[in-house]
Structure 1
Amino acid sequence: MITSVKNEKIKGLKKLHQRKYRKQMNAFLVEGEHLIEEALTSDWEVKELIVSEEVAVPDMAKHLPVTEVTKQVFKELSFTASPQGMMAVVEIKKEEAVNGEVVVLLDAVQDPGNAGTIIRTADAAGADGIILGSGCVDLYNDKVIRATQGSIFHLPIIHADLEEKLLRLKEADYRVWATALEKAENYKDLPIPQKTALIFGNEGAGVKESLLEKADERVTIPILGKAESLNVSIAAGVLLYYLKN
């Protein structure tokens, strides 16, 4: 059992709280039994388990290497105020091709709750993959992972230059829909394309102009009350369910 926060292994695990070290080590931390179960039942590789002294290793994880630590040490590693006492190191998977009927593109979505909720919603609505452009929050940020509720392990998510990717998607006969507040059509007035690339933009600035110019349609969700706009993750839910159902 590891009893000191100054232990070299603990220092190494703590580094995984930072984006640059996650990239260097090609790994990230997942905390809590539910998310660990989602990782274990996916095709992602779970490398090891870290458990607090009072927590039993679940049966499905007993094949993994286990590091046991004191409550104090686990609290040092935890991302939450009330730790569940279990986390796993997961290897970052090689990116897969994204294709299918509906592909989601995120342009500089920076809030981890929004990014994670869009991933979860895309999974629930049956989208076929997600492409993260520059300026987006790190996919392996703990708040993003928790907001996905495990959906990070369910569908392909890649990083790419959105302008280049849009050209390729259009060559593959996707219709590009970009969300916008101005010069946009009500989404309900548009026929559902056979294949759609759906762009959501930054919480404050929206989709950048260079991407809007490449879109086949600028779409908007009507605001019926006095709100200025919809949260980007709510907008994603409305449009994804329209396209997939």
Structure 2
Amino acid sequence: MKHIESESNASLKQWKKLHSRKEREKTGTFLLEGPHLIEEAIHSGAKLQHVIVEENYQMKDEWLKERFSLWSVPAKLMKQLSETEKPQGILAVCEMMDQPEDLIKPKGRYLLIDGVQDPGNLGTIIRTADSAGLDGVFLGEGTADLYNGKTVRSTQGSLFHLPVVKADLLQIIGQCKEQDIPVLSTSLQEAVDMRRASEVEGFALIVGNEGAGVQETLQKESTMNVKIPIFGQAESLNVSVATGILLYELQRNRS
């Protein structure tokens, strides 16, 4: 184990740069914080380059068998690396996952995310898609960065459990149609009650930006526009809450 004491250490400076999206994309790496996320990464086979622990942190013995560089730092430096108020004493530099191709398969179940800008919402949606047993998630233009620290933490490890791919959503819609997969877009205009949607074996659900919703161009390409009924006086639901309701309703109605 290597020890770092100085703020001017080159490795420390490089890891701190990973708080920036530009540096993450440049290096193809991102930060994982906390033992749960690191354990999920290890179990999924993700590539960890470095693990950094606070002095006297007790690591799990089985982790020591993994192939990564191990570093220790004092509490003051861990606080600089951490993006949370209360650092958990361990973080890792992880390589970004591969972007798989040809994900669309007959009867598959997919989520298309159009311009969801809040990292916490995005992470929660990915976690929900994982819980609902989906086959893949596609991130359209304008969507928050998958590897933003808040996004990663909000997924609670689900980003390692299913493919999450940056994509042109119009192309993905076209591929779904080629496989006879119904494409359902959330909308408040000319939309049917979600509970009236016909039973489907596979589906592609599009959810949209917190304020503007799904782009009209994507709605026009969908098979059907759907909405969640509102029984109270709220105008709308948080996008992550709405996604959860829709995905579980679709799963319940699978023929």
Of residues 131, 137, 148, the one that matches 1:124 is 131
1:45-64 equivalence runs, <5 A: 45-63=47-65, 64=68
The answer for the alignment partner of 1:168 in structure 2 is 175
Q: 1:17 aligns with which of 19, 22, 29?
A: 19
Q: Give the Cα–Cα distance (whole angstroms) in 2 for the partners of residues 10 and 17 of structure 1.
A: 12
Post-superposition offset of 1:60: 2.7
Secondary structure of 1:88's match?
strand
Does residue 93 of structure 1 match 2:97?
Answer: yes
Deviations 1:112-131 (A, max 9, x none): 11100100001011111100
Alpha-carbon displacement from aligned partner over 1:18-42 (angstroms, at most 9, x marks no partner): 1111111111110000111111100
Aligned-pair distance for 1:192?
A: 2.2
Letter in 1 for 2:248: Y
* Alignment-derived partner of residue 66 in structure 1: 70
Q: How does 1:214-225 map onto structure 2 within 5 Å?
A: 214-225=221-232
Please say if residues 5 and 76 of structure 1, whose CA atoms lie closer than 8 Å, have aligned partners that are also in contact: no
Residue in structure 1 matched with residue 115 of structure 2 by the alignment: 108
Q: Quick one: which amino acid aligns to residue 87 of structure 1?
A: L
Residue in structure 2 matched with residue 75 of structure 1 by the alignment = 79
Distance 2:61 2:129 in 1: 31
What are the within-5 Å matches in structure 2 for residues 37-48 of structure 1?
A: 37-48=39-50
- Residue identity matched to 1:208: Q
Instruction: State how far apart, in whole Å, the 2-side matches of 1:139 and 1:45 are.
Output: 17
Match of 2:210 in 1: 203
Deviation per residue, 1:176-199 (Å, 9 max, x gap): 000011210001111122221100
Tell me, in whole angstroms, the C-alpha distance in 2 between the residues paired with 1:165 and 1:125: 20
Partner secondary structure for residue 85 of structure 2: coil
CA distance in 1, matches of 2:199, 2:21: 38
State the distance in 2 between where 1:142 and 1:57 align. Answer: 22
Q: d(CA) in 2 for partners of 1:35 and 1:93?
A: 14
**1:166 to partner: Cα distance:** 1.0
Matched letter for residue 213 of structure 2:
G
3-state SS in 1 of match to 2:221: coil
Kindly report the root-mean-square deviation, in angstroms, between the aligned alpha carbons of the 2 structures.
1.0
- How many residues align? The count is 245
Instruction: Provide the secondary structure at the position in 2 that maps to 1:135.
Output: coil
Query: 8 Å contact 2:104–2:175 — kept in the other structure?
Result: no
Q: Could you tell me which of 180, 184, 196 is aligned with 1:177?
A: 184
Instruction: Give structure 1 regions of 4+ aligned residues with deviation exceeding 4 angstroms.
Output: none
Which range is displaced more, 191-200 or 215-224? 191-200
Gaps of 5+ in 2: none
Q: Identify which of 5, 16, 20 aligns with 2:7.
A: 5
Matched residues in 1 for 2:59 and 2:4: separation? 16
Structure 1 residue matching 2:72: 3-state secondary structure: strand
In structure 1, distance between residues paired with 2:20 and 2:45: 24
Q: Structure 1: which amino acid aligns with 2:91?
A: M
Contact 1:127 1:244 in 2 (8 A): no
State how far apart, in whole Å, the 1-side matches of 2:109 and 2:94 are: 27
Distance 1:209 1:60 in 2: 51
TM-score in terms of structure 1 length: 0.97
Residue identity over aligned pairs, in percent, reads 47
Structure 1: runs of 5 or more not aligned:
none
Alignment partners' CA distance in 2, 1:94 and 1:151: 15
Counterpart contact for 1:2–1:68, Cα < 8 Å: yes
Give the secondary-structure state (helix, strand or coil) at the position aligned to 1:219. Answer: strand
| Contact preservation (8 Å) 1:112, 1:141 | yes
TM-score (norm 2): 0.93
For residue 242 of structure 1, report the CA deviation from its aligned partner: 1.3
